[in-house]
Structure 1
Amino acid sequence: MGFRRAAMAASMLVLLAGPVPAQFTTLDGAQDGAASPAIAAPAPCGDQPLVIARMNWPSAVLLAEIHARLLAAELGCDARVTPGDPAATASSMGSTGQPAVAPELWVNRIADVWNGAMEAQMVRSAAPTYAETTFEGWFMPAYMGGNGAAAPAAAALPEILGPLSPGTPIRFISCPLDWACSVINRNLVRAHGIERLVEIVEPANRFEMDRMIAEAVNRREPFLFYYWQPNAVLAQLDFIALDMGAYDESAMKCLAGRTCSTPAASTFAPDLVVIALAERVFIDLPQVAGYFQRASLPLVEMNRLLAQLNQPGATPEAVADGFVAERGEIWRAWLDNGLPQ
C-alpha cells in the first residue's frame, strides 16, 4: 500500500508540473539531473501595464504615442497612454508611482510639486526630453546665411546685416508686447549693437507673428525674428538658428528688465524639460529605465514631426507610426544594450 500511495503521489506531481520533455527523462521516467530546463527570464516591463502620461500639447502627445509603440514592439510591454496634466501628473507620480512615465515634463513650471516628489524619492529624471536645453532664440531665413551650412553668430550681426540693406533697417520680428521676450529682445538688440540696422516689430499676437514671418519668407525679404522650439514653423520653412553665445545669468537679469542701462549679450535661459520616471521603474524595470535614459530627441526632429502633424488629415497616431517606421536611425540608439546608464 505504501508503495502504491508513493507511486500515485509521484504521478500527481508529474501531472501538476506538466509533461517532462523526453530528452530530460531516463527509461524509468526520472529526470536526468545532468540537464535541467532553463528558467524563463522576467519580462522587461513586468506583469503590469506600463502607463505613459500624454500631456495636452502636440509635442508631448507625439512623444507619448511614439514611446508606447516602441516599448510594445521592441520590449514587449503592455504600454498604455493616459491623459496627463503637468502638476497633476507629477503629484500622482510622487504619491502613487502612477503613471510610470511622463515623457515631456517642464519641471520649472511645477517646481514645488516636482521637488516634493523628488524629496520623497518617488520620481526621478531619466534624461532630458530634448538633446538641447535652450528653447528660445533668434533665427534668420536660410537664404540669408549660406543655405544653413553653419550657424552665424549673433555677435557677427553688424557685419552680416550691414551690406544687406544699406541705409535701410531690416525688420526684426519680435514677440507680442505683453510677452517677457519682447523686453529681452529689445535689450539684446542693443547688446549686439544693431539698433540702427533693424526695425523691431512687435506683433499683436502669435497668429500675426506667424503671418509676418511667412509673408517675409514669401517675399524673400532679409529679416530676423525671435521664436521658440519645439515648433512646426521652424521645420515648415527653411531657417537658421543664430548662435547666441553662452548663457550669462547676471546679464540675463538685466536683459529682462525694462531699465537695463548697460545690456550685455547672453543666450536665453535654459529650461529643464525631462523624461520623468516613477522611481519604481529604475528599481523594478531597469531595461525600461535604460531605454528612457537614452531617449533624448533632437529639437529639429520634433520640429519635423510637428510640421507633419500640421498637414491636413494628420493624426498623432499616424505621425508616431511614421516615426517608428522611418526613423530607426534615431530610436534604435534608445534600445542599445537595454541597461540603464
Structure 2
Amino acid sequence: MKKSFFVLLIFILIASLTACTSSDSSKNGKSEGANKEETLIFADAGWDSMRFHNGVARFILENGYGYKTDIMPGSTVATIQGLGSGDIDIYMEVWTDNVKESYQKVLDSGKAVELGINYDDNTQGLYVPTYVIEGDPERGIEPLAPDLKTVEDLKKYKDLFKDPEDPSKGRIIGAIPGWSADEIMTEKIETYGLDEQFNIFRPGSDGALSTSIVNAYKAGEPWVGYYWEPTWIMGMYDMTLLEEKEYNEKDWNDGYKTAFPSVKLTIAVNKDVSENKEVVDFLKNYKSSTEITNEALSYMQEHEATAEEAAENFLKEHEELWVEWVPEDIANKVKEKLS
C-alpha cells in the first residue's frame, strides 16, 4: 500500500513538472522561436510602402522560417499603441519623426524594442523633371535649364516656369494645404527670395499634386514643385531634386535654409518578439532603400499590383539583396517557393 502511494506521488510530481514546463514553453514559444503555431502580427498603418515591406518580410517568415503571419490595420497612433500592448508584433516602417512622442513612449516603457533602420535616405523638397536640365533626346526634348542645379538657381528661370494666371511671375507647385511641408515650403521660398519672382500654387490633394507631375511629364513641359520620396511617382519618372545646403539644425531653425532632414524609418517589435533570436536576426539584417521602395511602388502603380505581388517581384528580381538577410537554408526555402 505504501509502495503504491509512493509510486502515485512520484507520478503526480512528474506530471506537475511536465505541465509547468509545457506552460512555460507555450508562454515563451514566441520568444524562443519554438512555437510557430503562434501568428506574428504586422502593423498596417495605411500606406503602400509599409505594405510592401510587410509583404517582403511576411513572405520570408512564412516560407523560409515556417511562421504564420497576419496584419492588423489601423491609424499610425493606434498601431504604435498596438505595438506596445502586444496586439502587434512587428512594425516594418516607423516614420520616427511623425510619431516621436508616442513611439518613444513605448520604447521607454520597455514594451517595444527598435531593431534597426529599414532605410533613411528618403528626401523631400523642390523637384524638376530631369529632362528640364538634361533634355531627352529620345523624346526630342532639348535641355531647357542646363544650369539649374540649386533652389536658388530658380531665380534665373522664372520665365521657364511661367504662371499661366500671372505671366509676370513663375509658378512653383507647393505642398498640400494643412501639411507641415506647406508651411515649411512657404517660408523656404521667402527665405531664398523666390517669392518676389514666383507664386506658389497649392494643389488640393495628393492626387492633384501627382497628376500635375504626370501631365507635365507626358507633355515634356517644364514643371517645378514640392514632392518627396519614396513614392510611385519617383519610381516611374526621372525627377531631379534641386540642391540646398546640407541639413544642420541651426540653419534649419532660421528660415529653413537647408535641405529637409532625412527621416529615419525603423523596424520595431513588441518586447516578446524581441526575445525570438531567429526573427530578430532576420529583421536586424533587413535593409532597404528609397530606391528599392520607389521601384516597388511604381511596380504597383504600373501593373495595378498588390503590395504582396510587388514583394514577390522584388524577391525574384533582387535575390542578391535579400539573401544577405537570412541563413542559406532559409534562403533556399524562399527561392524554392518563388520558383
Q: Same fold (TM over 0.5)?
A: yes
State the match for 1:297 in structure 2: 288
Partners of 2:79 and 2:177 lie apart in 1 by 33
For residues 272-291 of structure 1, what are the structure 2 equivalents within 5 Å? Answer: 272-283=264-275, 285-291=276-282
Partners of 2:271 and 2:302 lie apart in 1 by 38
Contact in 2 for aligned 1:170/1:222 (Cα 8 Å): no
Contact in 1 for aligned 2:120/2:263 (Cα 8 Å): no
> Residues 169 and 236 from structure 1, CA distance in 2 versus in 1: closer, same or farther, beyond 3 angstroms?
farther
Matched, 1:82 2:82: no
Contact in 2 for aligned 1:158/1:193 (Cα 8 Å): no
Partners of 2:207 and 2:79 lie apart in 1 by 30
Matched, 1:324 2:324: no
Greater per-residue helix proportion: 2
> Residues 155 and 54 from structure 1, CA distance in 2 versus in 1: closer, same or farther, beyond 3 angstroms?
closer
Matched, 1:131 2:131: no
Partners of 1:219 and 1:198 lie apart in 2 by 22
State the match for 1:309 in structure 2: 300
TM-score by length of 2: 0.71
Could you give the per-residue CA deviations for residues 149-193 of structure 1, whole angstroms, max 9, x where no partner exists?
A: xxx752562587489679975432112344332332233224334
Structure 2: which amino acid aligns with 1:214? V
For residues 13-162 of structure 1, what are the structure 2 equivalents within 5 Å? Answer: 45-48=33-36, 49=38, 50-74=40-64, 76-85=65-74, 86-96=76-86, 98-132=87-121, 134-146=122-134, 153-154=149-150, 157-158=153-154, 161=157
Partners of 1:163 and 1:56 lie apart in 2 by 40
Identity across matched positions, percent: 18
Contact in 1 for aligned 2:119/2:264 (Cα 8 Å): no
Q: Residue 199 of structure 1: CA displacement?
A: 4.0
Contact in 2 for aligned 1:123/1:278 (Cα 8 Å): yes
Structure of higher RCO (CA pairs closer than 8 Å, 6+ residues apart): 2
Higher Cα Rg, which structure: 1
Unaligned runs of 5+ in 1: 1-42, 256-263
**1:176 aligns to what SS in structure 2?**
coil
> Residues 156 and 333 from structure 1, CA distance in 2 versus in 1: closer, same or farther, beyond 3 angstroms?
farther
Contact in 2 for aligned 1:161/1:197 (Cα 8 Å): no
Unaligned runs of 5+ in 2: 1-30, 137-147, 330-339
Could you give the per-residue CA deviations for residues 85-144 of structure 1, whole angstroms, max 9, x where no partner exists?
A: 333333233233x43211112344444432232122221111223232x44222111112
**1:103 aligns to what SS in structure 2?**
strand
Q: Residue 64 of structure 1: CA displacement?
A: 1.0
Partners of 1:95 and 1:131 lie apart in 2 by 27
Contact in 2 for aligned 1:153/1:245 (Cα 8 Å): no
Partners of 1:51 and 1:66 lie apart in 2 by 14
> Residues 116 and 207 from structure 1, CA distance in 2 versus in 1: closer, same or farther, beyond 3 angstroms?
closer
Worse-superposed segment, 139-148 or 164-173: 164-173
Q: Residue 275 of structure 1: CA displacement?
A: 0.8
RMSD: 3.3
Structure 2: which amino acid aligns with 1:56? G
**1:59 aligns to what SS in structure 2?**
helix
Q: Residue 201 of structure 1: CA displacement?
A: 2.2
